[in-house]
Amino acid sequence: MSGWFLPRHLAPRRKAHSAYIDRGIHQRIDSSSIHPVKLERTRRVTLSGVPESVRLLLVGSNGAVRRGLELLLSGEAGVQIVGQAENANSAIRLGRELSPSTVLIDLESLGDRGLEEAVELRRQIPATVIVLSLRDDQQSRQRADEAGLRFLSKQAGSDGLLALLRERPMG
């Protein structure tokens, strides 16, 4: 029938005109059920040197600081918060039970003996111990380093903390 045209909504569909769409369809068909964006984020994290998972124990007497750290780190790929403790004694007990790979301590919240308690925690638990401090002086850094602890000033912010967590564990 000459001159006969089908309305657009009834006409046969054309092939996708975009290589992007074609590639997306083939990825969905050929790949596993992992979304490509999530897969790419996982690749970036793995290639950037993050251990498969940092099992993190948060220690500090200030619940608001622990909660803030939890909120900051809980969305990060490769970081799993396994527990929280108010003091070094409960951290040692939880550390033996939960086997964290890293312990993050809010140094000032533990009081005057904070560094000594962090050292004791390091002796009792085979994990990397990071002390988070308001102080940012050479003496504090040196004392932490001599004790086998990782030191981070709170002025370093979240980027500094994430960078330190991404380093290879001293464990």
Name the nearest CA neighbour of 100 among 131, 132, 58, 50. Answer: 58
Task: State residue 7's pLDDT score.
Answer: 58
Of 166 and 96, which is predicted with more confidence?
Answer: 96
Inform me whether the pLDDT recorded for 10 exceeds 50: yes
CB 118 within 8 A of CB 129: yes
pLDDT digits (tens, 9 = 90+) for 109-151: 887 788 888 999 999 999 999 999 888 888 888 988 998 999 9
Domains located in the chain, CATH noted? 17-43 (no CATH), 50-166 (3.40.50.2300)
Instruction: Give the percent of the chain with pLDDT over 70.
Output: 67
Name the nearest CA neighbour of 96 among 67, 127, 66, 74. Answer: 127
The model's pTM:
0.67
Strand order in the sheet with 54-59: 79-85, 54-59, 102-106, 128-133, 150-153
CB 132 within 8 A of CB 154: yes
In angstroms, rounded to a whole number, what is the distance separating the alpha carbons of residues 86 and 109? Answer: 9
Token pair for 128: 């990397």
Task: State residue 170's pLDDT score.
Answer: 52
Strands in 15-108 per DSSP E: 54-59, 79-85, 102-106
